[in-house]
Structure 1
Amino acid sequence: MDNDPKHTSKVVAKRLKDNKVKVLEWPSQSPDLNPIKEWCAELKKCVRARRPTNLTQLHQLCQKEWAKVHPIYCGKLVEGYPNRLTQVKQFKGNATKY
């Protein structure tokens, strides 16, 4: 959630509220701090490789790939967070390798 309009729309806000999802405050334009961004790029790569031809296929492929994510992988992404913070600080908020 980086304050992008698609993440802050009324529809998204309602869905998050209805599903009792706690949303953290997040600075705008901060992809360098997002530990899941790496995984999202991998998801896109996997789905593109399978070349869905319609929305139903796209949805099914995303769900299948999402189900494959192992908790240990998520943990490793979060463990890398201190390194991300250090780099953002080093580069004074400018782009980092992440």
Structure 2
Amino acid sequence: MRMENYVDILKQHLKTSVRKLKLGRKWVFQMDNDPKHTSEVVAKWLKDNKVKVLEWPLQSADLNLIENVWAELKKHVQARRPTNLTQLHQRCQAKRLTQVKQFKGNATKY
């Protein structure tokens, strides 16, 4: 993803999400220090839109719990050994669809 794409995502979703989550005015935005997140273009947009950003250390897997989630996801995807996107989709959906059938269309853990 390029920094311009990231700004577009922020423009489209950040303020809408804040409203939907009813965060009020005292919310703080957190992001990692990926270069596209810390670029001048992004910093300017955040400043112009008065977004308060939480300062965060570089590559702190112990603090960035999402990194652990990504690692687990990667491990599970690799275990299914897909060779293309179609296989990836099919292999990830099988368990999910089984649960949907089991719960007769009601909520599942997915």
* Bigger CA radius of gyration: 2
Give TM-score scaled by structure 1 length: 0.42
Give TM-score scaled by structure 2 length: 0.38
Of Structure 1 and Structure 2, which has the larger fraction of its residues in helix?
A: 1
